[in-house]
A and B are shown apart, each in its own frame.
Chain A
């Protein structure tokens, strides 16, 4: 009852009222109708013009009704994917650019309530689209050929997907400007969409409804390839769970506010400006995220005053808890999935013969763990990096214990690193033990592979490509897991240190993140590996050896070597000395510079330009300067003192 009342209350939020007024007016209804029908007609014409390709792609000829149903779902998916970011990217920056954000802040409305209306109005958009689709649905009914239960289930999934997309767009729009938000969301949708269409049994892209929409086609292809198929319900349910989880995470993220800043009770929202910043800003006028005090205040002051004393817990504790739980759950899910996969093979007549194939599945399992490690450490690096506004702050953790944000960041990031290492280590060891029990061999390729019965129709040693045996022979899974994990964690640590340093050297956390993360991934991960491969491919004499050494600085090269993918260039083992040298240098250098910069920022702040947190540090020192009601030194006092010190 109370929930119903809250939902009703949300319908009185400004965002919902405005969207309702707009969406239920003639112009958007007309435009959406035209767009939707044009998209569906275009898709239908294109499909009808190439029946052979259809048969090739979908495995069997589809009935027209079924095809129409499929294209209708894809059309709605496409339209939702484009319209949602288009209408929601300006939720925070729009009012600022239109000049009424101050009024939003002053109204006292909570950030969540402010965006909740717009999130709720996503339902209106979907309703509008579904109503406009009624003639098409009638046509599909008349033509027949569609499994109705699946069709309705897919529509439901699109509904949930649209809310997830809306929540993610709203979250991103808190950090990025409109254009960047739109680009990131669309790029994510395209990437996930393609992954969702890939005929692999475990689709990592269950964040789109496409695996469920194309379930029959993907299953048909997997059956042809002899792969493992999943039931429609399993795909639908996993998609639903993943989408709801992401939606909840995104809403929690909005409620948190921009993680780059710290609550004003423990800081000031003062935009910290150092000498030379103005020149830097002239070069980069892009505004990546909300930074002005009044704007920031919206996310903190308007949230709920009772939450203010728990800010450290919210800002560090809750993200840490969420990350740790996510890492653990993801590790366990991957372990459970592969365990089920192996158990299906276990006890069948082909067990021993198929052992090599099962062994290579262990590599898929390892890749799954690596993805978990990569995503979680990258997220931790971003979440546990704060802007230089926090330099010099001491945040109350317990009654007398005050820690600096840098220390809190370090503790949290290291916890994630340990959690990732621990989870992957435990999951890997458990699977390794199971594999030993299953195959009787500690290596991926059992030393002796018995031949299969001639009449079993299954693969035997003779049908296994020699290259597989050669490539994976003597590869121990536990060793591989340990080596790859160490590479991952070293790489994550280096990236985090560089990010911390960049956040203190530049004026904006967003700018630092956009500079460091893509920079590190391209310069340290991709370019060296690509250079080594390209130079080797074209056999460029003289540079080949140099390119090989250059390639070894990349963790990606390390992974590929350990996965035995670059045997032609590097052989099956390599100590990766250049990787360790470069990453050690980057870590030590970043640490040294970070320490210097942190001290400089603190000193500088006490001298008067940074009036924010450093005053707290000064206050805790005996004989420190006089403070005003906020606990900061007055400007006049600071000036006077800095002159005296000079």
Chain B
């Protein structure tokens, strides 16, 4: 089967609830086999957008194509390609983990002969094998998220929509979740992850889309976003011995290729022109400044997010 290069194509999508415009004219593309991180403040419209991708909500205008299929006109076919992991964990009462997976497996009409193998596989992937007969009701948040993910993978979807998968998880569980997402990505799945936890997204995403007040503020790979966010030069963090800080600052500020130099306790944060790093390092050594640490810095996702958004909510 030929898989299109573009897995998800969002075309001028708008969604309103009464007077509220939850998603406002958003256009976006996600390439097959890549992971898109969808970030934005609360009320930015991330969940509304994901629900439209999942065919659970219909755009008021515009359309979304999943592997070339419209969520409006061919929702049934689109659903076969999708695995949607919602932010809320809903479950039928009184089931164990195995029964839960069996229930959803039969819901997705996975053939009975294959269901046992699939359940085994997803439990192994999400490390739930040892908890087969544990009641779903008593699961910790981390294990619930694992179970949700396991259920999402049961019918082997090609595209995964994960809504706040790391919400409420401790650092260890988050780390494990990142590992699972990376594994899924290596299996060729196209993944859209919405999250508030930006370092996690930074690690697993090939590209990032930032939303605010229903609008798509910016979209692209991290490198592209850094470029868009104004990181045109070089940022260096230099740690020197305490008494040399002021002297080093004077030397650097006087250099023609340095744009700014900020002193933070024993550290200097220097912004300079591209390609000037070695030159500045040599200058400091020549001036016999005792350098303890020298590091090139880049803008992280949080910086980009803070620069891109103004804290507006719909």
Smallest distance from the beta carbon of A537 to chain B beta carbons, Å?
A: 54
List residues of chain A with CB within 8 A of the CB of B108: 107-109
Stretch in contact with the other chain, from A9-17, A129-137, A322-330? A9-17
A331 to B70, CA, bound (A): 50
* Chain A interface extent, by class: 35 or more
Q: Are A104 and B107 in contact (CB under 8 A)?
A: yes
Given known contacts A108-B79, A636-B25, A103 and B18 CB-to-CB distance under 8 angstroms: no
B-contacting residues, A582-629, CB 8 Å: 609, 611, 628-629
Contact B61 A636 (CB under 8 A): yes
Q: Are B112 and A302 in contact (CB under 8 A)?
A: no
Candidates B63, B80, B106; contact of A14 at CB < 8 Å: B106
Residue in A100, A273, A305 with the greatest tally of chain B CB atoms within 10 Å: A100
Q: Per-residue 0/1 for B53-85: is the Cβ within 8 Å of any A Cβ (1 yes, 0 no)? A: 011111111110000001011011001101010
Q: How far is the CB of A303 from chain B (nearest CB, A)?
A: 9
A277-320 with Cβ < 8 A to chain B: 278, 293-294, 297, 301-302, 305
Task: Give Cα A105 to B25, complex, Å.
Answer: 26
Residues of A within 8 A of B99 (CB): 18, 21
With A and B bound together, what is the CA distance between A100 and B86 in angstroms? 9
B247 within 8 A of A: no
Q: Is the CB of B86 within 8 A of A630?
A: no
Interface residue B95 (Cβ < 8 Å from any Cβ of A)? yes
A103: chain B residues at CB < 8 Å are 84, 86, 90, 104, 107, 151
On whether A635 and B92 interact (CB within 8 A), knowing A293-B57, A305-B76, A629-B72, the answer reads: no
B93 within 8 A of A: yes
Residue in A98, A102, A105, A611 whose CB lies within 8 Å of B91: A98
On whether A629 and B70 interact (CB within 8 A), knowing A18-B92, A305-B76, A611-B60, the answer reads: yes
Whether a CB of chain A sits under 8 angstroms from the CB of B14 is: yes
Chain B, interface size: which category?
35 or more
Taking the closest CB of chain B, its distance from the CB of A5, in whole angstroms, is 13
A8 to B: closest C-beta gap in Å? 10
Question: Residue among A14, A105, A301 with the most chain B CB within 10 A?
Answer: A14
Task: Report the Cα distance A94→B93, complex, angstroms.
Answer: 10
Taking CB atoms, residues of chain B closer than 8 Å to A156 are none
| Bound complex: CA A21 to CA B72 (Å) | 37
A106 at the interface (CB under 8 A from B): yes
Interface presence of A204 (CB below 8 A): no
Q: Is the CB of A107 within 8 A of B92?
A: no
How many Å lie between the Cα of A12 and that of B118 in the bound state? Answer: 16
Q: Is A268's beta carbon under 8 Å from chain B?
A: yes
B124 to chain A, nearest CB (A): 22
Cβ-defined partner of B58 (8 Å) among A18, A107, A268 = A268
Proximity bits, B84-127, A CB within 8 Å = 1, else 0: 10101111111100010011101111001000000000000000
Known A21-B99, A108-B109; judge A635-B16 contact (CB<8 A): yes
Also in contact, A98 and B90, with CB within 8 A (given A18-B103, A636-B25): yes
The residue of chain A having its C-beta at the shortest distance from the C-beta of B17 within the complex is A273
Q: Report the separation of the CA atoms of residues A18 and B70 in the bound assembly, to the nearest whole angstrom.
A: 34
Chain B residues contacting A102 (CB-CB under 8 Å) are: 54, 56, 84, 86, 90
Chain B contacts of A18 at CB under 8 A? 92, 95, 99, 103
Bound CA span A109–B108, Å: 7
Q: Which of A108, A278, A634 contacts B14 (CB 8 A)?
A: A634
Q: Which residue of B lies closest to A16 (CB)?
A: B106
Is the C-beta of B173 less than 8 angstroms from some C-beta in chain A? no
Given A14-B103, A14-B107, A628-B63, decide whether A293 and B58 contact each other with a Cβ distance below 8 A: yes
Residue A269 lies at the interface, judged by CB distance under 8 Å to chain B: yes
CA distance A99 to B25 in the complex (A): 29
| B61 engages A632 (CB within 8 Å) | yes
* A635 near B107: Cβ-Cβ < 8 Å: no
How far, in Å, is B3 (CB) from chain A's closest CB?
20
Contact with B along A102-139 (1 / 0, CB 8 A): 11111111000000000000000000000000000000
**A270 beta carbon closer than 8 Å to chain B:** yes
B-side contacts of A634, CB under 8 Å: 12, 14, 60-62
Contact status of A628 and B61, CB under 8 A, knowing A95-B92, A99-B88, A106-B56: yes
User: Which of A13, A17, A109, A269 has the most chain B CB atoms closer than 10 A to its own CB?
Assistant: A17
Q: Are A629 and B88 in contact (CB under 8 A)?
A: no
Partner of B63, one of A270, A611, A629: A629
Counting CB contacts under 8 A, is A22 at the interface? yes
List residues of B whose CB falls within 8 A of some A CB. Answer: 12, 14, 16, 18, 21, 25, 51, 54-63, 70, 72-73, 75-76, 79-80, 82, 84, 86, 88-95, 99, 102-104, 106-109, 112, 151, 155
- Given contact pairs A14-B107, A102-B86, a sample of 8 additional A-B residue pairs in the complex whose CB atoms are under 8 Å apart: A12-B112, A102-B54, A104-B107, A105-B56, A108-B80, A294-B56, A609-B18, A611-B60
Which A-B residue pairs are the 9 nearest by beta carbons?
A99-B90, A100-B90, A634-B61, A107-B107, A628-B61, A294-B56, A14-B106, A14-B107, A107-B108
A–B Cβ pairs within 8 angstroms, 19 of them? A13-B106, A14-B103, A14-B106, A14-B107, A102-B90, A107-B108, A108-B80, A108-B108, A109-B107, A294-B51, A294-B57, A301-B75, A301-B76, A302-B76, A305-B76, A611-B60, A629-B70, A633-B61, A635-B14
